[in-house]
Structure formats: structure tokens, C-alpha cells
Structure 1
Amino acid sequence: MTTAVLVLENGQVFTGTAFGATGQTLGEAVFCTAMTGYQETLTDPSYHRQIVVATAPQIGNTGWNTEDDESRGGRIWVAGYAVRNPTRRVSSWRSTGTLDDALVEQGVVGIAGIDTRAVTRVLRDHGSMRAGIFSGDALADTDVLLDRVRSAPSMAGADLAGEVSTDSEYVVDAVGEHRFTVAAIDLGIKTNTPRMLAQRGVRVHVFGSSVDPQVVTDLAPDGVFLSNGPGDPATADDAVALTRSVLDRRIPLLGICFGNQILGRALGRDTYKMKFGHRGINIPVIDHTTGLVSITAQNHGFALEGEAGEEFDTDFGRGRVSHTCANDGTVEGVELVDGRAFSVQYHPEAAAGPHDAAYLFDRFVTVMQGVRA
């Protein structure tokens, strides 16, 4: 077996074996607590430039298939992958290959055979940090590898949405009757989002992150959608300007994850980098309008400033913090009090589940229907 090492920015080193491609990769080390859905995780553009540490002890059981990718073309976006015990046998009739094969094919450097829960404890105690996985010819003395890690760019201040966004507009047509048209701003959009809107009779026009606001206006959409995506929301000034233009025109708006932070910024809220973020599919969120708790899928390392139920003035009317995380109080949603614009930090389109929050797409459709009426 080929030796591989995971080197953290704080100097800690974990030695295992190569998994996937061999070589060198650098990124921000983060941990994901999901027990399932590794293919959806690896192909999620929101993980761009991150080394994902899986807390689930066994990874790869269901192999790899051509249907569960969350990026167009099936691209794996993670910078690297760290696992404890990659399965030796694939057990799914849907699989078309193995996880290891997919990583090798796309040149994604990984490491196996390390105590990923020990790594997770480090990241919880010290926070997400720069890291590198090294194997094969990339191996060197620890001091040399540590210098490479510490010279890598930080996630704070990283402007990454443009690196994962579509280069050209495309359309996902409505399933059945065409009821509404939505302009979706691709900041790192997952493929299941247009699919879920289409199932509700929505024709989705997907635009790149740098689209001119006038192009969106010329489409005359019934609503605008702001997608998930990677990087620091403090760098996304163009997306914020577009959002303010949409709010000025009183067009219904829904944002998810990165889109939640963009709407928050457009409403005058600040963002900050979390210590280690939320990444998993079992995170409880409180809806402060209804008091209901949803179990949600999340992937974010930045958050909006605010407190549960807080109301505040904006340039577009009164706003409020609509959702918070039951674990730590982090803001999980903001909205305009009049209801025409709202967003959540979690993923109602979560392809690997859970599906507690899928109703938010129905709410968006209801808002568009009300405005049209």
C-alpha cells in the first residue's frame, strides 16, 4: 500500500494509505457528520477547495453511479477526501463503479486508514484550518509539507462562486404544466434544486454568478432563486447588488445556503466565519414563526449575524431572523416581514435527505402565485 499523510495547519500529522489519486492536494479541512450521501457531498460545488473528513467509519458501500451527482457533468468538487475504512466491496444494484475509481478518474487525492473522528475532534477544538494530503512523489519531510500547507490561501476572503458557476445560461423546463418562470443565480447550484422547482411547474433559467441584473429583469421572471455555493459571502458584492435590484422590483425571492447569506447582506446584515461550520444531514433548525423543528442537511462555514426572532429595518421594509439552529443558535434563515423574500441556511433540496424542509419550495410557489394574483 502507498503511504499518505494528512497534515494540518497546526502541525498535527495523521498517517494512512493513499485513497483515490496519489499526489498532493491543499484546502481547508472540514468534517462532515453525514452517515450517507457521500456522492452528493463530493459533487457539491459548495465544497470547492475543501478537504472533507468523513466521520462515518465506513465509506463507499454503495459505490458510485451516474444518477446521484449534484454537479453538472458529475464533477467532484472537493479538494480531497479523508476516510477511516473504505469498503472493499460495493453493495448496490445502482452502482456503475467504485468510489475509489471515481476519485482516481478525476484526480482527487485522498487518504484512508486514519482515525477521522480524532481529526474531527481537533477541528472542533481548534476550528477548520488549512491542510494538505500528500502521497507518492509528493511526500517530503514534515517541515516541508507544513510549509506548503501554511502557504495555501485561507477560506476567509476567498471569492469562489465564479469558479464553480455555469459559463452560460441553460434552462430546466417545467414538468407538466408551465406555471411560473424563475431566474436561478448559479453561485454553486446543485442539480436537484432546478429539478425540485421543475416538479412544481416552474421553468428554471439558470444564470452565471456574474449575470447582469438587466438580463434578469428582461426575462421578467415570476421569482428569483439564489443558490448555495462556496467561499466567503463577504466577497460576493455582485450577487448582493443583483439581489438588491430584485428586491427593489418586489420580485419574489428564495435563497438557500450561500443565497441566505447574500440576501442577509442585501438586507444590511454582516457575515462571519464560523469556528468549524455545519456539515451533515442531521442538524435541527427552529422555525420561529411556527415553532416547528426540521432536521436538515447543511454545508456552510460562514453565517449571518443575528439573534432568534430579531426584527430589523432594511431598505426594503422590515426584516427578521426567521430560523436558528437548535444546537448553537446560529442564524438559519432571514426574511422580509411582508413575505415576498426569504431564505434559509440549510438545504431543502437535499438529495441524500432529510426531506423535512422540502415544503419551502411550495412556499416559494405560493408567494409567486400571490404576487401574480
Structure 2
Amino acid sequence: MTKAYLLLADGTVFEGVSIGARGTSIGETVFNTGMTGYQETLTDASYYGQIVTQTYPLVGNYGVNGEDVESRRSWVRGYIVRENCEQPSNFRCAGSLDTFLKEQGVVGLCGIDTRRLTRLLREHGVMNGAITDSLAEKDALLEAINAYSISGAVEAVTVEKPFTEGSENGLRVALLDYGYKVNILRSLVARGCRVTVFPASASPADVLASRPDGIMLSNGPGDPSACGKQIENLREIFRSGAPIFGICLGHQLMALAQGGRTEKLKYGHRGANHPVKDLAHGRTYITSQNHGYAVVDGSIGAEVGAVSHVNLNDGTVEGVRYKNAPVFTVQFHPEASPGPHDSAYLFDEFVALMKERNLQHA
């Protein structure tokens, strides 16, 4: 076993054991409260630039496989667990977590008190840090840690060129990729849609030239206010009159495009156990979430849109329905894999909107 360390921006050091790739990696240190779904977490592009800590104490017990990935690679800057299972057991298991981290070049750390780390992040907020196998140059490393910031995130994770999947005769959906999770694509295809995935840089003209029945705005990483071009494009796409469904970053970008504001949360929402109330139906759903920013309540004009969902833990905005346009967005992940699946009904609502518009234009 090789010693490794987590060094935080305030100088706090956690000593543990190295897993995954060796070396030093700097990122924004966050925590995820999910009990399962570590492979989905590792391949979720929304974690670009971040060191992820799992609060659940045992990780890796069911191994990894070739199916439970949410993108083409892992985007995390580091991975921290209390205990790494070295002998996974599952009928779908095709390898261990440690092997997967090595293959993906992800520097990992295990054997530290993740509960203490999580409490520290909850008290002080997300903090830059570094996983390293040497503290010999601690002062220089601290300087680099404090200088680190996430930039160019969406541009780094988006696809290079458009591609299409799904039924030839299905409803045509344009999926704008800001860092999309594969299960968004799967959820649409499973409902008979023909989905064309566009790079985040795609112009409104290119997107609308595909004659979509509806437009999907994906999740993604980074500060939404830094995505100036995407926000500008969404203003024009909004005016097209096409049904639009946004998730996570897509939700935030649409809010900014319609005059709203976003703010960075103290430690974010990351996990599969967040209660959200659907105000229209009066029901509460348990949701999967992964975001560090939120739409500021009251920042969207009442004549433009209304809050549709709220987080029951802290009251933050979790959804917006826009007026005078078939557009709705949510902060959480209704496509959640491995779960929960409580809010998958939103994909059905999106499909219904597209069918209704097609009938109106028939």
C-alpha cells in the first residue's frame, strides 16, 4: 500500500492510501451522498474539474461494467472513499473500481475519515484541494490549490460533431450537449424519439434546421454564467416556439437567458436522496441531483415564468415553467440512473408537449 494525502486549501491534511492512478491532481473538493451509482458518478461530465468524496463508507462492492457509464470517459479530478472493496461481487461485474480508476487516469484516495471531511465541507463550503502521494513541496502545492479554478468546462466535455440515435419515424428531438448523461438519450429513445445530439457550440440556425419537434437542454459542469454564447443562443431558440425541456445546467442557462440570476451554493446538492416538491401536483419526489449552482428565487419575472418545483431541504428553486411558451426546466435529474426514478414522468410530459404541438400544426 502506498500512502497518499488530501491537502485542502486551508492547509488541512488527510492521510490515507492511494487507489487508482498515481500522482497529484488538483480540483474542487465536493461530496456525494449516494449509496450506489459510483460508476455513474465517475462518468458524469457535470463533475468536470472536481474531486468527489463518497459519503457512503463502502464503495466498489459491485465492481464496474461496460454498461453503467454516463459518458465516454471519467471527468473527475480525483476520487475519495472511506473503504475500497478489493473483491467486488456481482453478476454484471467486469472489473474492480481500482482498475477502472487506473484505466481512466483518475487519482484516488481511500482510508480517510470521509465523515470528518464531509462535515468540514458542509461547515466551510466546497474547497479546492489536491490528492497527492507526496507533501514534500507542500507550500508550492498549496499555492497551486488556491489558484485553481474550473474554466472551459462545457467546451471540454461536449461532443465534437452531431450524431443521431433512435427510431427513424419517431419524434425529432435536438439534444444540446452541455455535458449530457447518456441516460437522457436513453430515456428519450425509449419513448420512441429520434434524437440528434448537438455540440454546445451549435448555432440556433443549425439546431432549428434539423426541424425538431422538441429541444432538450442537458446537464453539464461549471458556472452557468460563464456560458455566454450558449445563453445568447437559447434566447433565439426560445423564440422558435418549439417545446423545450431543460435539466440541471440546461435549467440554469434557460433561466439566465430569460433574465434570471444564478448563485453558487455553499456545498451544492449531490446525491440520490433529495426531496423535491412539484407545486402543480402537490407531490414530493425523491430525486437525484448534482449541481453547485442554483437559480435565484424571484429573479425570473412573474410575467416570464413561475417556480414549479422547490427543494424541501433548503427551499431552493428546482424547476421553472415558462409562460407563453411550451418550455419547462428542472434542476434535478429525472433520467437518474441507477435511481431514484420518481420524476421520470417529466419525459412523458415533454413527449406529450411535442405531440400536442404537432397536432396544432397539422
- Alignment TM class, shorter chain as reference: over 0.9
1:265 aligns with 2:266: no
1:331 aligns with 2:317: yes
Distance 2:147 2:201 in 1: 29
Distance 1:162 1:8 in 2: 27
The correspondence for 1:301, drawn from 292, 295, 311, is 292
What is the CA deviation profile of residues 297-334 of structure 1, one whole-angstrom value per residue up to 9, with x for unaligned ones?
00000010115xx97246xxx31111110000111011
Count of matched residue positions in the alignment of Structure 1 and Structure 2: 359
Does the 8 Å contact 2:243/2:326 carry over to 1?
yes
Quote the residue 2:71 is aligned against: 71
Distance 1:40 1:253 in 2: 25
SS in 1 for 2:307: strand
Quote the residue 1:110 is aligned against: 108
Does the 8 Å contact 1:131/1:149 carry over to 2?
yes
Does the 8 Å contact 1:269/1:305 carry over to 2?
yes
Distance 2:155 2:83 in 1: 34
Quote the residue 2:124 is aligned against: 126
Quote the residue 2:333 is aligned against: 347
Distance 1:296 1:47 in 2: 18
Distance 1:28 1:164 in 2: 17
Quote the residue 2:4 is aligned against: 4
Does the 8 Å contact 1:339/1:367 carry over to 2?
no
Does the 8 Å contact 2:258/2:300 carry over to 1?
no
1:218 aligns with 2:209: yes
SS in 1 for 2:301: strand
The correspondence for 2:154, drawn from 157, 161, 165, is 161
1:152 aligns with 2:143: no
Distance 1:337 1:114 in 2: 49
Does the 8 Å contact 1:172/1:195 carry over to 2?
no
C-alpha displacement at 1:249, in angstroms?
A: 1.3
C-alpha displacement at 1:202, in angstroms?
A: 0.6
The correspondence for 1:362, drawn from 323, 344, 348, is 348
Distance 2:111 2:233 in 1: 46
- The residue identity in structure 2 corresponding to 1:346 is F
Does the 8 Å contact 1:31/1:55 carry over to 2?
yes
Quote the residue 1:192 is aligned against: 183
Does the 8 Å contact 2:270/2:288 carry over to 1?
yes
Distance 1:48 1:148 in 2: 18
Distance 1:147 1:262 in 2: 32
C-alpha displacement at 1:339, in angstroms?
A: 5.8
- Over the aligned positions, Cα root-mean-square deviation in angstroms equals 1.4
Q: Which runs of 5+ in 2 are unaligned?
A: none
Quote the residue 1:371 is aligned against: 357
After TM superposition, the score normalised by the length of structure 1 is 0.94
Deviates more, 1:178-187 or 1:22-31: 178-187
1:183 aligns with 2:181: no
C-alpha displacement at 1:286, in angstroms?
A: 0.8
Does the 8 Å contact 1:159/1:232 carry over to 2?
no
Distance 1:347 1:359 in 2: 12
1:244 aligns with 2:235: yes
Does the 8 Å contact 2:310/2:316 carry over to 1?
yes
Does the 8 Å contact 2:260/2:300 carry over to 1?
no
Distance 2:300 2:256 in 1: 15
After TM superposition, the score normalised by the length of structure 2 is 0.96
- The residue identity in structure 2 corresponding to 1:328 is D
Quote the residue 1:22 is aligned against: 22
Task: Please identify runs of 4+ aligned residues in structure 1 that moved more than 4 A.
Answer: none
- The residue identity in structure 1 corresponding to 2:121 is L
SS in 2 for 1:214: helix
Distance 2:170 2:139 in 1: 60
Distance 2:177 2:46 in 1: 11
Q: Which runs of 5+ in 1 are unaligned?
A: none
- The residue identity in structure 1 corresponding to 2:95 is G
What is the CA deviation profile of residues 31-59 of structure 1, one whole-angstrom value per residue up to 9, with x for unaligned ones?
00000000000000000110001100000
* Cα 1:189–1:311 shift into 2, 3 Å: closer
Distance 1:346 1:134 in 2: 33
Identity %: 47
Distance 1:199 1:112 in 2: 38
* Cα 1:299–1:236 shift into 2, 3 Å: same
C-alpha displacement at 1:88, in angstroms?
A: 2.3
What is the CA deviation profile of residues 87-111 of structure 1, one whole-angstrom value per residue up to 9, with x for unaligned ones?
1211111011100001111211011
